[in-house]
Structures are given as C-alpha cells and as structure tokens.
Amino acid sequence: MSVQEYLDKHMLSRKIEDAVNAAVRAKTPDPVLFISNHMRKSVSSAITKVKARQILDSRGIPTVEVDLYTNKGIFRGASPSGASSGMYEAMELRDGDKGTYLGNGVSRAVKNINEKISEALIGMDPTLQTQIDQVMIDLDKTEKKSELGVNAILAVSIAACKAGAAQKEVPLYKHIADLAGKTNFNLPVPAFTLINGGKYAGNSLAIQEIMILPVGARKFEEALQIGAETYHHLKAVITEKYGAHGCNVGEDGGYAPNISSFKEGLDLVKEAIGRTGYNDKVKIAINVAATEFCIGTKYDLDYKSPNKSGQNFKSGEDMIDMYKELCEAVYPVVSIEDPFDKEDWEHVKYFSGLGICQVVGDDLLMSNPKRVERAVQEAACNALNLKVNQVGTVTEAIEVVKLAKDANWGVVISQTSGETEDSFIADLSVGLATGQIKAGAPCRGERLAKYNQLLRIEVELGDEAVYVGDGWRHC
C-alpha cells in the first residue's frame, strides 16, 4: 500500500487539512502542538476493531452479530433475516453444510467480517456512514452482496451507525436524521400483529397477518397500551371460540387459531377491539402476501388445506372485489400489503388506482430501488415496506426511503420473521420520520425490543415528541 493509498483509506489527508485550517483560524502561538492535538483527537474517533460471531435469531436460525470498537466503546449490530429471499433483494451468505444447522450456518459470513471487512474499515471515522457502507459495497463487488453476504454487511453497517452516534454524542435516531438530512422527529404508528397465518403459522389461514393501527392515540405510549390490551382481549375471544389451543402463536407473535377465511380472522379482531372500547381509535391492516398462494394467474385461498386446495380459486378481479368489500363496508381496513403476486403488476395498479386504502409493496418491491422506481412510474402501489436486510446498508435504506417519500408514498419500517433483540429499526423509523413501523405482536422479546425503544425515545424527546396518529400515511 502506497503512502497516498494509506492516507486515502484512513481519510487522513482531509484530517490533516482540517487540522491545519483549524490552527490558522485559532491563530495559535504553537501551531505544531495544536495540529498534533487536533490530529490525536481526530484519529481517536477511528474504528479500531471489528469482530463478528454467529448467534441465533427468533426462529432459532443462525444470523450474524458484530461488535465494532472505537475509543467510545463497543457497538453491536445484528442482522435480521426473512423467511425467504426474493430474486430482487440482497442475498444472505449461508454455509450450506446440511450437517450443521441444516445448512443455515453463517460461519462464512462471520469469517468475511473478521478477515476482510475488518481490515478494510479499521482506521475509518464511524461518523462517515456513507463512506463505510461504500467500502463494503466495493469490497463485495456483486449487485446482490452475495460475495460477502448481506447478513455480514448489514450487521457491520448497523454497528457502525451506532458508533457514529456515540462519537457525535447524540441519540441514534438523531444521527440517522442527520445522515438523511432531516430535522424533524416523530413517533410512528405501530402496526401490531394480532393474527398470523400464511407461512408464519400452522393454521389454514392463507393471508400472513391481520394487524391493528392505533391511529387515534395521542402518544406512542397510549398506542402501545391499546395494542397490548387488544391483544389480550383477542386471546380471551379466541379461547372462548376455539379453546386454549387456538392461542398458539405464529412467528411474529400473533395468535394462530385454526381459521381459514379472511372474514373469520377479521371478525375475531373486530370483536376484540369492541371489548377494549377503542373502536374510534383503531384501524385494521392486513398483509396478504399473495405471492405465496398465487398459482399461474389465480389465487388459491385454500392452499394450506390439502383436502380443499384448488376448490377456492380467485381471479385477480375476484380479489379486488373482496378487498373493496373489506375496505368500504364491512371492516375498518385501511392498509393492505401485497394484495397480489409480486409480478401481477396490472391488478395491483388497478387496485391502487381505486384509492380506497394504502397499498403496501413488500414482495412486489423487496426494498429494491429499481422496483420502487418502476412502481412509482406505474403507480403500482402507494407505500413501501422497508426491510433493511433486503437493501443491506443503512445508507441504502435511507436512499430508498427518500425515493418513496419523494413520490408522496407512505413508508413502513418493517421487522422480519427472523428477528434479533437489536432495536435498530425503532431509531430508524424515528430518524427517518416514516410514520409507520411494523414490529410484530405486542409480545415476545425480539418484538418488544423495538416497541420499548420507541417508548424510551418518546420520553427522551419530552415535549418535542410528536406521535403522528392520523397523519400516519403522509408525515
């Protein structure tokens, strides 16, 4: 490595220039000592060590955790993981050894951090998030981050973001806002998962989630109370109708009674809301995840019931009619995620054009900027479901949120099915002022980590705390 390459890698050329300029401005009698002290302070902010390990996510499947060291301390980041990887999202690196964790081990990703990423980042300033992320992207050299693994890159990116906040001595959400060029903070409306279905549960329900949005709450603290109380009332409703076994939970912590129809699940949630007395404060959202049961151009709502599968096929037009009924008359459904297959652009465009609810793209978009740009151009949906593991770095997450907000879309910062105790997405939602967060049910530690962090942020902000409430779609 040449002298210039060393200076460029550690950004010392700019630090030296900054020190000289500072000495000139200070008119110090001893510029050499002044520059020396200035440089020592600057260099002390550098990343000194990056160490990764394999941990387990909320499903008991391995994922990557990183400790990043600076003079301010040790900063930890962990990579969440989805139930499946789409062709348009960044790719995890798994070991593939079926004899260990059924092939899901991440020792190769861990090794990439400890041997390659660590060497590239040591000496860098943790406040320079964009440069840190770009170094890892350049080191990987693939479009989907498949060489190093998005699970390796993301864990480091999150840890670096926390280190950057500590270096600036500001809260994490404030640092994220600075990175995004934002000055306003708000507390998002949480989408609490109450019922799980689809691939997240062993029942016969085709759709993946039924959620509630406490849009009428005055504070996030009240929103969390509404979510928790409704969740517990739902348990009582399900127990009365199906027995205690109906209260088994899915991967997000939502209950998974053995129901098979949309309406059966919505009726349960509606009754639970009624028992709380929060009818005027709560709306309903559903995550259909229709790609899971799309067969050709038809949708099989009984795909999880072998004895019925094929008997309840719906066309795209049938699905639209069903959604219109849910939104316009029967239930207070205000948001539908992935109402059609990820490649069924025509039906999702038509449905979005009706303007009857928020239409969220998850499988449709996979947090991929190119897919988001296409959806914006074609008016295919009006909200982004952002999962940081689908893009891979904090910088790219900020960029794709900006892309969505520039189109006047709603933005949902989202959990994954394989979560960790890392509460990073809570700060991300506040720092980017997204207005919506989806972190699962108001139970289970890996889900509550996010909600409890939002409580802390609200207390910290005090009188400056703003809960978006009715402004959840456009804040």
| C-alpha separations of 230 from 55, 194, 276, 441 in Å | 33, 8, 6, 11
| C-alpha separations of 392 from 61, 140, 256, 330 in Å | 19, 12, 31, 40
Give CA–CA dist 238/288, Å, rounded.
21
Q: Which of 387, 405, 438, 450 does the annotation list as catalytic?
A: 387
Question: CA 63: distance to chain centroid?
Answer: 16
Strands 358-361 and 333-337: parallel
| Burial 306-332, CB ≥16 within 10 A → b, else e | eeeeeebbbebeebbebbeebbeeebb
Give CA–CA dist 237/3, Å, rounded.
70
344 is catalytic: no
Give CA–CA dist 10/8, Å, rounded.
6
263 is catalytic: no
With CA atoms as reference, report the closest residue to 408 among 345, 332, 352, 328: 352
Q: Which of 252, 302, 341, 363 does the annotation list as catalytic?
A: 252
Q: Would you list the DSSP string of 220-279?
A: HHHHHHHHHHHHHHHHHHHHHHH-GGGG-B-TTS-B--S---HHHHHHHHHHHHHHHT-G
Sheet holding 62-70, edge to edge: 49-56, 62-70, 73-78
List 292's β-bridge partners, or say none. Answer: none
Largest CA distance in the chain: 88
Annotated ligand binding at 458? The verdict is no
Annotated ligand binding at 362? The verdict is yes
Give CA–CA dist 416/241, Å, rounded.
30
Q: If residue 6 lies in a helix (H) or strand (E), which one and from where to where?
A: helix 3-9
Q: Which residues are catalytic?
A: 252, 387
Give the residue numbers of the binding site. Answer: 337, 362
Give the residue numbers of the binding site for Mg(2+). Answer: 337, 362
